[in-house]
Structure 1
Amino acid sequence: MSTALDRTSRPTMSIVNQPANPAGVEDESDISALIGRLTAEVNQIACEKTKSIQSITNQMKMLALNALIESSRAGAQGAGFAVVAQEVRNVGQQVETIARELETQLTGRTGNLMNSIERMTERARGERMVDLSLNAIELIDRNLYERTCDVRWWATDSAVVDCAAAPEAAAVSHASERLAVILGAYTVYLDLWLCDLDGKVLASGRSDRFKVIGQNVASTKWFREALSLRSGDDYVAGDIESQPLLGNAQVATYCASVRAGGKANGKPIGVLAIHFDWEPQARAIVQGVRVGAADKARVLLVDSNFRVIAASDGHGLLTERVPLTQDGRRSGFYHDRSGALIAFHGTPGYETYKGLGWFGMIVCAA
C-alpha cells in the first residue's frame, strides 16, 4: 500500500493579509470633508449675496423715504412723485423679503444635503466593514477546509493504519516517525495523535516535546464524535479550546477515522487527531484586516456562542463574549448603545467544510 507521504505533495494553504480596500472606499472621510467645504462655501456665497441685496434695498428705501419727504414739501405738485416713491419703497421691501427667503432656503437645502451625505457615508462605511468581516471569516474557512483534507488524507497513511491495527512497539515508533515527517512539512500544527478506539494515544509526531503517548482522551468531545463517523470520507471539526496536553495552547482539533486497509468503507480501528496551532494563525488574519487608523477598530472572530476566539488587540481570547445583536441576520451592521459601529458576517463555509457557525466581526469605537 502506498503511503500518504509518497503522494504528490500538496502545500498547506498559508494565511495571507487582507487585500487592499476597493478603490475610492478609503476616501470616504475626504468626500465628507469636501462636501462640508462646498456647503460652507455655498452658505457663505448665499450670505454675501443676500447681504448685498439687503444693502441695495436699504438704499432704495432711503431714496424712497427722501423722495416722499421732498414730495410732501412740493404739495399738490409732488403728489404724483409721492406715488412713485411709495411704489419704489414697496418694491424694495419685496426684494428684501425674497432675499431673506432665498438665504433661508439655501441654508436649509445645503443642511439637508450634508445630512444625506453623512448618512450615505455612514452606510458605505458599514457595508465596507461587513465586507471586511466576510473577508476575514472566508480566509479562515478556506484554511480550515485544508485541515479537513489533511486529516482524512493522513488517516490513510500505511504507517498510521498498521499501528492502529497492531500497536506494537516497532509500529508505534514507525508511526510516530511518519507523523513527525508530516509536522516538519506542515508547520501550522502543534501535534498529530493516533488514538485507539478506547481513546488511548498510541503515537505522536512530537513525543519528545509533548508527553502524550499513553494518555487517554476518551472524554473529549472531538474523540467521542470521531467514534461515530460513518466512513473515512467524514471528519470532525472541533471548536477552539485550550489543550492541557499541549501546554494549554489554543488549538482547533480535526479528527478522522483510521480504517482497516486505509479504505473509506473499512472497519474503524482508530482515530487520527490533528491539532491546528490556532492562535498565531488566527492572529495573522485579524491583524491583517486593513480597516484604517481613523476607525479605531477591533477585528474579531467569534464562535457560535459569540465567544472571542481571535482578536486584533489580543484581548479576551476564549474568555470574552460579545453581545452581537443579529436580529436573525447572518450579516449586517448597527450601532450599539455607546454609538460604536458593529459589523458582522457569518461563516459561508468552503467546499466540504460547512463551518461551525462562526462570525467575523469589526467593532469601531464611537
Structure 2
Amino acid sequence: MKELVEKQLNVSLLMNELKKDNQEMEHVMKDIQDISMKSNILALNSGIEAARAGEAGRGFSVVATEIKKFAEHSLKASQKSEDLIQRIQQKANEIIAVRTVDIAFDTIDKIDRNLFERNCDVQAWASFNVVKNCLVNPSEESKQLAKGLLQRIHQIYEVYYDLFVLDLEGNIVAAAQNNHQVGKNMADREWFQQTVKTKDVFVTDMYYSSVVDGYTMNYSSPVLDDQGEVIGVFTIRFNWEYIYDIIDAVKIDENSQLYVINSKGEVIASKNREDVFQANLGDIKAVQKVISRTEKQGFTVEGTKIYAFSLTKGYNAYKGKGWAVIVEESIV
C-alpha cells in the first residue's frame, strides 16, 4: 500500500513537472516564432532593397529569397510544435484528472466502509441480552448492568461519543457517558420515530450535536424481544473526528483541495476544518453533476481548475447518504 501511494504521488509530481516543462517549451517556441517573423520581415525588406539596386543587388536578392524561405519554414515548424505542445498539455491534464478521480473514489469508498462498520455495531449491540433485559425488566439493577455494558463498549470502541438505550416511550434509560441525559424523552426525534416505525436501522446525516458537543452521526437500531417486536431503541453517536483519519491520509498536492460534501453541496469534511458547514460548493459544475446524479463519477475542467468527483455507493447494508468527494487540482 505504501509503495502504491508513493507511485501515485510520483505520477502526480511528474505530471506537474511535465506541464511546467511544457509551458517553458511553449515560451521557447513563441520566441522562435518571433524570430521567424522578424527574419521574414528582414528578408522582405532586403528583397526590396536588392530590387532597387538592380543588377548589382541580384546576388543579395537570392540570399534574401532563401532567408525568406527559411523564415517561412521555421514559422510553420514552430506553429506545428506549438500545436503539439498544446496536445501534450491537454493529455497531461487528462492524466491528472483521471488520477484525481481515482483519489475521490478511493476516499469516499474508505468513508463508506468505515460507516458500514458503525451500521453493524449498532445492530449487534441492540441484540445483547443485557440491553433487552433493562427494557423488559426495567429495575435499577438491570439498568446499572446496561450502563456498565455501554461504558465497556465505549472504552473499547473509541470512535463513539456516547451510546444510549431508550424505552418504547422514548425515555433514555441508560447512557455510557452523559448520565445526566438519563430520563430525558426523545420521542419527538425523527431518528427515534423512524427506527420504531420501520423496525430497521436509521442513520442521520452528519450534524452538530449539543448533547455530545461535536459533529456526529446518529445510528439507531430497534431493540427486539424474542417475538421480534420492538421494545426500545439502541442509539450511538459516532465521533466525526475519526473521519479525518481518512481525509488527512489522502496524499494530494499542497495547493490541491479535497472536500466531502452532503447531498446539498455543503462541505462536511475538508483538509481545512474551517470549511465544515461554512462552504457550499453548489456553484461548481462538478458538484451540480454529482448532486443531481447526472454523473456519479468523473471530472470537469472549469477555468484553471480540474474538479474530480465520486458519489457514494454505500457499502453492503449501509446505503450511504448521498455524499460525494470532490478533489480540486490546479492546471495552471
TM-score range, shorter chain: 0.7 to 0.9
| Deviation per residue, 1:290-315 (Å, 9 max, x gap) | 1112xx22321111112221121111
Q: Which runs of structure 2 are paired with 1:79-158 in the superposition (5 Å)?
A: 92-158=63-129
Identity, in percent, stands at 23
CA 1:317–1:63: 2 relative to 1, 3 Å: closer
**Residue 201 (structure 1) aligned with residue 172 (structure 2):** yes
CA distance in 1, matches of 2:279, 2:153: 34
Call closer, same or farther: CA 1:306–1:174 in 2, change over 3 Å: same
Counterparts of 1:44 and 1:318, CA distance in 2: 49
> SS at the partner of 2:276?
coil
Please report how far the alpha carbon of residue 37 of structure 1 lies from its aligned counterpart in structure 2 after TM superposition.
Answer: 4.9
Deviation at 1:356, TM superposition (A): 0.9
Q: For 2:257 and 2:32, how far apart are their aligned partners in 1? A: 43
Cα offset for 1:191?
0.7
CA distance in 2, matches of 1:53, 1:315: 58
Whichever residue aligns with residue 258 of structure 2, its letter is V
The secondary structure found in structure 2 opposite 1:315 is helix
Change (3 A) 1:212 1:33: same
1:284-323 aligned at under 5 Å gives the runs 284-293=245-254, 296-323=255-282
| Aligned-residue CA RMSD (Å) | 3.4
1:137-186: CA deviation from partner (whole Å, max 9, x where unpaired): 11110000000111111111110011121221111100010111111110
Q: In structure 1, how many angstroms separate the alpha carbons of the residues matched to 2:40 and 2:305?
A: 46
Aligned partner letter, 1:266: G
Aligned partner of 1:275 among 212, 218, 237:
237
Please tell me the residue identity of whatever aligns with 1:246: V
Match of 1:185 among 156, 159, 171: 156
Change (3 A) 1:268 1:50: closer
Report the count of equivalent residues: 321
CA contact (8 A) 1:137 1:346 kept: yes
Q: Secondary structure at the match of 2:150?
A: helix
- Give the structure-2-normalised TM-score: 0.83
- 2:186 — aligned with what? 217
Question: Against the structure 1 CA distance between its residues 50 and 191, is the aligned structure 2 distance closer, same or farther, given a 3 Å change threshold?
Answer: closer
* CA–CA distance in structure 2, aligned partners of residues 307 and 222 of structure 1: 21
Structure 2 contact 50–61 (Cα < 8 Å) conserved: no
SS of 2:101's equivalent? helix
1:61-118 Cα distance to aligned partner (Å, 9 max, x none): 999999944xxxxxxxxxxxxxxx96x6775454333212211112111211221122
Distance 1:159 1:27, change over 3 A: same
Q: Which residue of 2 aligns with 1:9?
A: none
Secondary structure of the 1:325 match is helix
Q: What is the match of residue 5 of structure 1?
A: none
Question: Residue 211 of structure 2 aligns to a residue in which SS?
Answer: helix
Amino acid at match of 1:305: K
SS at match of 1:245: coil
Q: In the alignment, what sits opposite 1:77?
A: none
Q: Using the TM superposition, give the Cα deviation of residue 53 of structure 1 relative to its aligned residue in structure 2, in angstroms.
A: 12
Q: Which of 311, 315, 319 is the aligned partner of 1:354?
A: 319
Q: Pick which of 220-229 and 269-278 moved more.
A: 220-229
Structure 1 residue runs without a partner (length 5+): 1-15, 70-84
Question: Post-superposition shift, 1:227?
Answer: 0.8
Task: Give the whole-Å Cα distance in 2 for the aligned partners of 1:24 and 1:342.
Answer: 18
- Residue type of the partner of 1:188? V
Amino acid at match of 1:241: Y
Structure 2, unpaired ranges of 5+ = none
For residue 246 of structure 1, give the secondary structure of its aligned residue in structure 2.
coil
For the 8 Å contact 1:286–1:311, the answer to whether it is kept is yes
- Counterpart residue identity of residue 325, structure 1: Q
Note if contact 2:311-2:324 (Cα within 8 Å) is conserved in structure 1: yes
- The residue matched to 2:273 in structure 1 has which SS? coil
1:59 CA drift (Å): 11
Q: CA deviation at 1:220?
A: 1.7
Specify the structure having the higher radius of gyration (Cα).
1
Q: Which has the higher contact order (CA 8 A, sep 6+)?
A: 1
